């Protein structure tokens, strides 16, 4: 029987459980990015309580990016020192941490919002170099890898989506061409830095002419065959299609993908109850699950679940943390 608290391998990483804390911005920074005790404390609580892996809050490439105000910053003077301290805290509890890179716009030097169709080959090279440089900075700060957010509505989800990409060169047209921009990034990160590369992808686009589930599966397989170390599944907007339906909306996709690739696949979104999560683990190919709001509601809830052998998140799903772009819970203050 599989259990959420099983110790397991996550490609090159060793995890203390199958539970992954997934990105949630940390708003309590100061003076352009400096981390504060609230953030260190939150990370320590999560790491101590039994989480297997932490995916960081998103880091943007550019200060003009749409979400920069809520994103973490890797371009302030104290970045390496602060985040080394943060990753050391997690490592003290044997919890690896991946830095998440997510950008909504791409500034190619001529246009701050360069569309996928307009990006020149030089623009593509600039983008790739910036992502690789971000990975390098993460490695200096002690992160165990990078997560490239190419899901939700972020730039790389658009670049790889036939709804937005009608390029006629090697970076447009068929599936391999549209994902080539990411495959080349992965290859270089693996070669030059060598640490874990995770990709966060959408299962589909929903818009007519957009990415279908069939093509998304094909892309995920290409990522796996070309060096990606893990894949997290998400949807175009985080609230899309999540509801109280009995079956998890991404489960069929995750099940299929986990069967077809030999890298970890992370099921994400609306997972709240230990019993239900163990049921999914034992009735599907899914081996890893990520949660976000439950950690906002209570950073160390996993300690209670582990001690009691059961538990449900106290998150009420009001969505205030997300819609008000805060990292604190609006229902509980402890
Ligand atoms: C407060 C908050 C901040 C978030 N910040 C990020 C982020 O930085 N990067 C990201 O990819 N997703 C972010 N998300 C989305 C979550 O990672 C997750 O996909 C979503 O909340 C669904 O998972 P859940 O039902 O377990 O909360 C955030 C969500 C919340 C509630
Ligand atoms: S603010 Fe609402 S959605 Fe966010 S963690 Fe608290 S209860 Fe859950």
Atom of ligand 2 nearest to the CA of 314: 7
CA of 254 to the centre of ligand 1 (A): 18
Whole-number pLDDT of residue 248:
85
**Minimal-distance CA residue to ligand 1 atom 29:** 24
Residue 238 pLDDT level (bands cut at 50, 70, 90): low
314-324 mean pLDDT: 94
How do residues 206-219 score in pLDDT, each as one tens digit?
A: 889 999 999 999 99
Q: Do 155 and 164 contact (CB within 8 A), yes or no? A: no
Percent of the chain with pLDDT over 70: 97
CA of 33 to the centre of ligand 1 (A): 19
Q: Do 4 and 288 contact (CB within 8 A), yes or no? A: no
Whole-number pLDDT of residue 73:
93
Residue 158 pLDDT level (bands cut at 50, 70, 90): very high
183-197 mean pLDDT: 97
Residue 241 has pLDDT above 60, yes or no: no
19: enclosing H helix or E strand: strand 19-21
Atom of ligand 2 nearest to the CA of 328: 1
Residue 239 has pLDDT above 90, yes or no: no
- What architecture (CATH level 2) is domain 8-323? Alpha-Beta Barrel (3.20)
Structure tokens at 275: 């019993």
**Mutation test of ligand 1: which of 24, 248, 330 has the most ligand atoms closer than 8 Å to its C-beta?**
24
Q: Which residues line ligand 1 (CB under 6 A)?
A: 22-25, 57-58, 100, 102, 149, 234, 238, 268-271, 291-293, 296, 321-322, 327
How do residues 29-83 score in pLDDT, each as one tens digit?
A: 998 899 999 999 999 999 999 999 999 999 999 899 998 988 999 999 999 999 9
Q: What is the mean pLDDT of the chain?
A: 94
Query: Which residues fall within 8 angstroms of residue 125, CB to CB, at 6 or more apart?
Result: none
Whole-number pLDDT of residue 246:
64
**Minimal-distance CA residue to ligand 2 atom 6:** 329
**Mutation test of ligand 2: which of 22, 297, 314, 328 has the most ligand atoms closer than 8 Å to its C-beta?**
297
**Mutation test of ligand 2: which of 23, 269, 331 has the most ligand atoms closer than 8 Å to its C-beta?**
331
CA of 110 to the centre of ligand 1 (A): 32
Q: Which residues line ligand 2 (CB under 6 A)?
A: 293, 296-297, 315-321, 329-331
CA of 73 to the centre of ligand 2 (A): 24
Residue 23 pLDDT level (bands cut at 50, 70, 90): confident
Q: Do 297 and 331 contact (CB within 8 A), yes or no? A: yes
How far is C-alpha 288 from the geometric centre of its chain's CA atoms?
Answer: 13
CA of 248 to the centre of ligand 1 (A): 17
Whole-number pLDDT of residue 197:
98
Atom of ligand 1 nearest to the CA of 315: 27
Q: Please tell me which of 232-241, 279-288, 322-331 the model is most confident about, judged by mean pLDDT.
A: 279-288
How do residues 73-104 score in pLDDT, each as one tens digit?
A: 999 999 999 999 999 999 999 999 999 999 99
- Bridge-partner residues for 30, per DSSP? 34
Whole-number pLDDT of residue 243:
55
Ligand nearest to the CA of 315: 2
Structure tokens at 233: 């599944």
d(Cα 140, Cα 80) in Å, to the nearest integer? Answer: 6
Atom of ligand 2 nearest to the CA of 294: 5
Whole-number pLDDT of residue 261:
97
């Amino acid at each position: 029987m599989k259990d959420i608290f099983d110790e397991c391998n996550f490609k090159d990483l060793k995890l203390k459980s199958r539970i992954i804390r997934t990105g949630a911005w940390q708003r309590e920074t100061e003076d352009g990015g400096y981390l504060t005790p609230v953030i260190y404390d939150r990370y320590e609580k999560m790491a101590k309580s039994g989480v297997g892996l932490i995916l960081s809050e998103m880091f943007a490439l550019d200060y003009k990016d749409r979400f920069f105000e809520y994103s973490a910053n890797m371009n302030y003077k104290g970045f390496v020192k602060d985040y080394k301290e943060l990753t050391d805290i997690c490592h003290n509890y044997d919890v690896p941490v991946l830095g998440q890179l997510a950008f909504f716009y791409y500034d190619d030097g001529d246009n701050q919002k360069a569309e996928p169709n307009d990006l020149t080959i030089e623009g593509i090279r600039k983008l790739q170099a910036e992502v690789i440089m971000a990975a390098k900075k993460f490695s200096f700060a002690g992160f165990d890898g990078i997560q490239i957010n190419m899901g939700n509505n972020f730039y790389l989800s658009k670049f790889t989506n036939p709804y937005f990409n009608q390029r006629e060169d090697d970076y447009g047209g068929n599936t391999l061409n549209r994902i080539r921009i990411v495959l080349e990034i992965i290859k270089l990160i693996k070669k030059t830095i060598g640490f874990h590369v995770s990709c966060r992808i959408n299962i589909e686009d929903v818009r007519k002419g957009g990415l279908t589930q069939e093509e998304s599966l094909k892309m995920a397989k290409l990522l796996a065959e070309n060096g990606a170390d893990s894949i997290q599944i998400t949807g175009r907007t985080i609230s899309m299609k999540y509801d109280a339906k009995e079956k998890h909306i991404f489960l069929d996709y995750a099940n299929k993908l986990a069967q077809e690739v030999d890298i970890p696949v992370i099921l994400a979104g609306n997972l709240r109850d230990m019993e239900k999560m163990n049921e999914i683990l034992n009735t599907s190919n899914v081996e890893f699950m990520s949660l976000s709001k439950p950690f906002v509601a209570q950073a160390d809830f996993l300690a209670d679940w582990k001690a009691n052998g059961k538990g449900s998140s106290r998150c009420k799903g009001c969505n205030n943390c997300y819609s008000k772009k805060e990292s604190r819970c609006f229902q509980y203050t402890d």
